[in-house]
Amino acid sequence: MRATSSCCGSEPDNVNQPSPLFLDGDGHAVLMLHGLSSSPLELRFLARFLNAEGFTICAPLLSGYSAGSDEAAMEVWIEAAVREYDALAARFERVSICGLSIGAALALALAQRRPQAQSLVLLSLTLSYDGWAIPWYRFLLNWAYYTPMRKHWRYREQAPFGLRNEALRAKIARAMQRSDFSEVGPSTISLPALHEASRLASKVRTLVHDVRTDCLIVHAIDDETSSPRNARFVARHIGAAFLRTIWLDDSYHMITSDNEREIVARETALFLRESEAARSGDDNGKQVVSKALARRLRQLAALGKERA
């Protein structure tokens, strides 16, 4: 099995091969976990935005989970994520966790293992493939895993590829014909990977109430892969005292690339800084204000003047 590829160096230019992503910033690092059998490429816009807001960004490749690595059990995924978190915690004052799709389920499992995490961001959380575009035979795949099919059958991604934006959807369709993965995920996913994702989801459902980390949930109401029930389940059961849920109405599953990616990025940056300020208690009399928070404060001030 290929070893975990930790964050190092600068942003990769080659989009034809999966690569880790590291963007240096301040003392608040964000560990970003991409979707199943995919790469940090699908988090690139959000990563760049957060780094522009001052955050250090680490989006690694995980053994047995990321594109280009041999398949492994979900326990291996969690251990790889724990190692990445610990490496960041040894270098940075604060470490937050952000996950997309199955990566959000992995982020929850990691937050339960590392409760000292600053905050937790769950994007298009997937505990069940129950969106409107999921094929009717999806429930049969767990049975198929225990047959010879598991060595040969792969689920092929089809339109809308998690995208409401039609122009981007057409671009991704062409990219998936040329490569095994794209900026919105892999072109195919193996049966063993889907089976381990289901095992991870089952585990997360039993431990979510133990997670007390500040939590932001962002989900599209029209998510074609994982319905809003996924987000509602965690919102009802998570133990976080500081919880915010944001619903999007002009995106599908890949909210880091779709029509509302700017909203996702701004709200994520805002939440991370608010969590940071709340944890610090403003002990030094200095507020931590990000560019996103400053913009929000100006908007609220302008609205107040208009109403006055």
Report pLDDT for 278. 86
- Residue 175's pLDDT is 73
User: Distance (Å, rounded) from C-alpha 75 to C-alpha 69?
Assistant: 15
Q: Are 54 and 27 in contact (CB under 8 A)?
A: no
CB 126 within 8 A of CB 217: no
CA distance 164 to 249: 10
Most confident of 146-150, 163-167, 168-172, 173-177: 163-167
* Cβ-proximal residues to 119 (8 Å cutoff; 6+ apart), any chain: 96, 97, 213, 214, 215, 216, 271, 272, 275, 276
Closest CA to 175 of 159, 152, 191: 159
**pLDDT, tens only, 52-80:** 999 999 999 998 999 888 889 999 999 99
Q: Counting beta carbons within 10 angstroms of the beta carbon of residue 181, is it exposed (0 to 12), middle (13 to 18) or buried (19 or more)?
A: buried
When the pLDDT of each residue in the chain is averaged and rounded to a whole number, the result is: 84
Mean pLDDT over 89-115 rounds to 98
Phi, psi (rounded to 5 degrees) for 220: -85, 135
Q: What is the pLDDT of residue 114?
A: 98
Would you give the DSSP letter of residue 177?
H
More confidently predicted of 186 and 19: 19
Neighbours of 255 (CB within 10 A): 28
Query: Could you give the count of Cα atoms lying within 13 Å of 59 in the half-sphere of its Cβ?
Result: 32
> Domain segments of the chain: what residues?
21-133+194-307
Backbone dihedral region of 221: left (phi > 0), alpha (psi from -120 to 50 degrees) or beta?
Answer: alpha
Q: What is the mean pLDDT of residues 165-179?
A: 76
Which long-range CB contacts under 8 A does 288-291 form with residues at least 24 apart? Answer: 290/53, 290/54, 291/52, 291/53
| CATH tag, 21-133+194-307 | 3.40.50.1820
Least confident of 6-15, 168-177, 265-274: 6-15
Residue 241, pLDDT score:
92
Give me the pLDDT at residue 257, please: 94
Alpha helix segments (H runs only) across 164-287: 166-178, 191-207, 228-237, 261-280
- Above 80 in pLDDT, residue 157? no
- Going by pLDDT thresholds of 50, 70 and 90, the confidence category of residue 1 is very low
pLDDT at 154 over 60: no
Beta bridge partners of 220: 248
> Across residues 197-210, what is the average pLDDT?
96
CB 225 within 8 A of CB 135: no
Q: Are 107 and 120 in contact (CB under 8 A)?
A: yes
The per-residue pLDDT for 71 is 86
Block residue for tokens 């599209």 = 220
Q: 4-48, pLDDT tens digit by residue?
A: 566 754 554 445 577 899 999 999 999 999 999 899 999 999 999
